[in-house]
Structures are given as structure tokens and as C-alpha cells.
Structure 1
Amino acid sequence: MKNVMRVSIVLFLVFLIACQAENQESNEQEEPVEEAADTSNSTEATETNEEAVEETSETEEPAENQDQTDDVEVTQPVSEPLYKVSENWSLVPLEEGTNENVVLLTIDDAPEQYTLEMAKTLKELEAPAIFFVNGHFLETEEQKDILRQIHEMGFAIGNHTYNHQRLTEADEATQEEEIRSLSVLIEEIIGEKPEFFRAPNGANTDFATSLVEQEGMLLMNWTYGYDYFEPYMDADKLKTAMITGEGPEVDVPYSLLKPGAILLMHDREWTSAALADIVKGLREKGYEFADPSAIKLP
């Protein structure tokens, strides 16, 4: 009987040992499966993250583009006109309360030699002006680039005829060609038609006056100017004449300077040299410089 019990106990122990071995073997086979499952989850997570990054990048692009758009300088709309040009060639306020103590700077025969230098001087002094240009000074790429530069500085560009033709000595066909061909050229260079016109020597004709109005330009002469007279082809003398308005050496012993005066100057060496002092001197006398965009057009 004891022998039977011993055998039973032995068999039972053998059975337990066998079961434990089987369980251990089973656990050892399952571990790689768990690792594979972890690797699979890691891959899915990586792909999900990559997709998220791609989606984030795609959604961020409009924001980046928006930032670029925000950086673009937007041109402000032109304000309502403040002045008109009178029959005696000066600026007159359109409404009471508008500053009368203004003068308008205009520079003819651009861009011959000193236009860019003069434009930089005025830009630094924050003094607006109209540059009246001639077509025969716009026939090279360098000259055209100068025109673009002064336009990009914010200066108004005016039509002064293509060849500086004295209109009173030309037939109507020639007058029309002189005016219209230059307006076309200016628009090709700066993308805008000129809004102001000045006849060479201030010599207008009825035909030219009518044509200029049809073209949407404002005809403009001047109140005074001295740099084309020989006695004032000197920076110091010119400075004094332009600031005082007096030109005694050309029979103008009285001052032509007044509120609204339109000042005539040219692309000349002595004018360029005197320009900064002229601007400062007129400001010291209490005058501001009218912005051409504030002038009423036809």
C-alpha cells in the first residue's frame, strides 16, 4: 500500500514539473509577439506623427502667406484736393481754413543731368515736387531708370513735350505728336500717364490747351523762376533770388513770392547746388511745400 502511494506521489510531482516546463516554454514564445506588437505600434505612431507634421505644414502655409501679405505696403488712397491753379498761375485753397502759406516746387527739363541728385535732396528734406520731363531725355535705359527712381520716390511726373518744342512755332499735327507721344512714353516707363503739362517757355496755344485738357492733364505755368537767367546761374545768387522772390538783375526788384506761388526751376548744376538751401530758406519764411496730389485736376 505504501508503495502505491509513493508511486502516486512521484507521478504527481512529475506531472507538476511537466506543467511548469510547458508554461515556461509558452511564456518564452509569447515574448517576441509582444515585442512585435510594440514595434507595430511604434511604426503606426511614427506614421501618424509624420501625417500630423504634413498636415500641420499644409495648414501653416496660408499663415505664412498671410504674413507675407501683411508685409506688403498698401498704397493709401489720395486725399481730396485742397488747391486749384488760378488764372495767374498760383495755388488757391478750395476751402476756407486750408493752409495758404504753401509753395509748389516744379523742375523742368528732366532727367538731363542732375535730376536724380535733385530728387534725392528733396526726398531727404521731405519736400514734394513735380518733375516735368522731356522725351529726348528718356531714350536710353539709364535715363528711363532715373525716371522710374524719381517716380518711386513719390514725385509727380509732368509732360514737358517730347523735344522741348516751342508750341507757338509748330503746326497742330506737330503739337499733338509732341504732347501725346511723350505721355505714351511716360506711361510705358512708370505705368502711369502724366497728370500735369507745361509747355516749353510757357508758350501755349489754343490747340495745345484743348488737347492737354482732353488728355486729362492740368496745364501749369509758374509764378516766378530765375535759374535760366545768366545772372542767376550761380548757386548763391539763385538761392537768394528764389527765397526772396526778387530778381533785381533781370528787372524784378520786387518780390514775387506769395502764398500759393508756383516756383520754376530746371535740371541745372547751379540749381541742384542751391536746392537744399532754397527749401530750408522758404521754410524759415513760414512756407510749406504743397503736395501735387492735393491739386485739383481737370
Structure 2
Amino acid sequence: MRIIIIKRKTILFAVLVLFLISIIFFFLSRKSVNTFKIFDPIYKGSEAEKKVAFACNVVWGNEYLPDMLSEFKKNNIRITFFIGGDWADKNKELLMRIHADNHEIGNHGYNHLKHTQISEEKNREEIIKTEEVINNIIGVKTELFAPPYGDVNKKVAQIAESLGYKVIMWSIDTIDWNTKDYTKILERVNKKIHNGAIILMHPTESTVKALPIMISNLMNNDYNIVPVSEVLENNN
């Protein structure tokens, strides 16, 4: 029988090599996870059910909000209002009315800036300041962030997510701010409607005119209109 004698130095060397390999593998694995983590905005919800969400960005248009709120209440609809912090500071009563009607409140930044063009520190300030203003007025902590102008990149998304937010975009844009012809809004929605749609709108005269028909069309096609957070349920 042959007896193989392994020197102590050889054993120690082998152990050291294995130890170094394990350390290298550990750090490479961590780097890989961080490198490939994706910070993605959300453009639509789950397509499993016939649900759609209205997302209304509010930094102006006060004169149209009461009519919009009345239409939503008449149809027993809850939507998501993304509120600008500066607007909230100046329009506390309107924000309280939106909240009293049980609508979901999201964060739209304080000064309506293009977030890809400002510093990381300013990004955080815009979101946190708005969160604090809204919370002070209605006692709600916002959890959804809609970047002004839809201006977003990986860095902006990463900053918002680090603050506990989901970054919300849209799959259907009514472009209501750029038309006085409400039928164009209806055409855009009817053409692109799908399960899980997030429909972007603003408080405008054309939106007020389009809403009754839009809501009726959606309901007649068995769509359930819900807040953004609800359309995201079971989202993959």
C-alpha cells in the first residue's frame, strides 16, 4: 500500500488558496448584484385584470379640480393625484378636499423641476420636502413619485427608490395640457386602452369635458377605474 504524505506547508498553502478564492467569489457576487440591479420606473400595472388607473398631476389648474372631483364622486371613482409641494403649500384646502374624497396622494416634487438636470442632493430635497408638506397638511406619507415632465433616468429612479418610493410613469398620455379639443383626449385613450393602463391627465378644461365620456366608455367596456397602487397589485 502506498502512503501519500502531504507536507504541512502544502496543506496550509491549499487552505490559503481556497480561502482567497472564496473571498474573491464573495465580493464578485456582491458587485454583480449591485451592478445588475435595475432601477426601473413603472409604466403600467398588472394586465391580469380589467383595471386602469387615472394619474392626475397637479401643479396648476385649480379652477378645474372641483368639477373633476365631482365627476369622480358621482361615479364612485378613486384616482391618484400626484401633488406638487409648492402647489400644496399654496392650496391646502383643495388638497384637503382631494384627500377627504378618499383619493390616493402621490409625490410630484416641490418645484416641478427636471430631475435629471439637478443634483442628487436637490433630487432628495425636492421629494422629501414635498413629502413633509403633504404629511403636515393631511397626515399622509406619500409612497409613489411621478417625476415632473416624465423626466427620469436610472439615477433619478435610484434616488427615489432609496427614499422608499415607487417611480410612476404612464402608458397612456392624454396630452390634455396641449389641446382644447376634448375629443382628441378620448381618441388617444380609446386607441391605446389596455388592462393595467396608467392614464396620465391634468386639471384642464378639456379634461373636464372629456371625463364623463371617458369614464362611461371605460365602464361600458368593463374596466374598473382604480388608484395607481391598486393597478400595481400582482404586477410582475
TM-score class, shorter-chain normalisation, is 0.7 to 0.9
Q: Structure 1 residue 265 and structure 2 residue 214: aligned? A: no
* 1:163 counterpart residue number: 111
Q: 5+ residue gaps in structure 1?
A: 1-85, 94-98, 246-255
* 2:61 counterpart residue number: 112
**Cα separation, 2, equivalents of 1:214 and 1:116:** 35
* 2:44 counterpart residue number: 90
1:87/1:107 Cα in 2 relative to 1: closer, same or farther (>3 Å)? closer
**Cα separation, 2, equivalents of 1:229 and 1:267:** 8
**Cα separation, 2, equivalents of 1:226 and 1:209:** 23
**Cα separation, 2, equivalents of 1:281 and 1:225:** 17
Q: Which has the higher contact order (CA 8 A, sep 6+)?
A: 2
**Cα separation, 2, equivalents of 1:191 and 1:265:** 25
- TM superposition shift of 1:192: 1.1
- Give the structure with higher Rg (CA): 1
* 2:152 counterpart residue number: 204
1:259/1:224 Cα in 2 relative to 1: closer, same or farther (>3 Å)? same
- Secondary structure of the corresponding residue to residue 172 of structure 2: coil
* Structure 1 runs, 4 residues or longer, greater than 4 Å off: none
- TM superposition shift of 1:88: 6.4
**Cα separation, 1, equivalents of 2:101 and 2:174:** 26
Q: 1:237 aligns with which of 167, 184, 194?
A: 184
Residue deviations 1:55-106 (CA, integer Å, cap 9, x gap)? xxxxxxxxxxxxxxxxxxxxxxxxxxxxxxx97621116xxxxx61111111
The two structures have a TM-score, normalised by structure 1, of 0.59
The total of aligned residue pairs comes to: 193
Name the aligned partner's letter for residue 183 of structure 1: E
Name the aligned partner's letter for residue 152 of structure 1: A
* 2:133 counterpart residue number: 185
**Cα separation, 1, equivalents of 2:149 and 2:210:** 22
**Cα separation, 2, equivalents of 1:88 and 1:112:** 25
Superposition CA RMSD, Å: 2.2
- TM superposition shift of 1:291: 3.9
Retained in 2: the 8 A contact 1:92–1:260? Answer: yes
Identity among equivalent positions (%) equals 26
Q: 5+ residue gaps in structure 2?
A: 1-39
- TM superposition shift of 1:146: 0.7
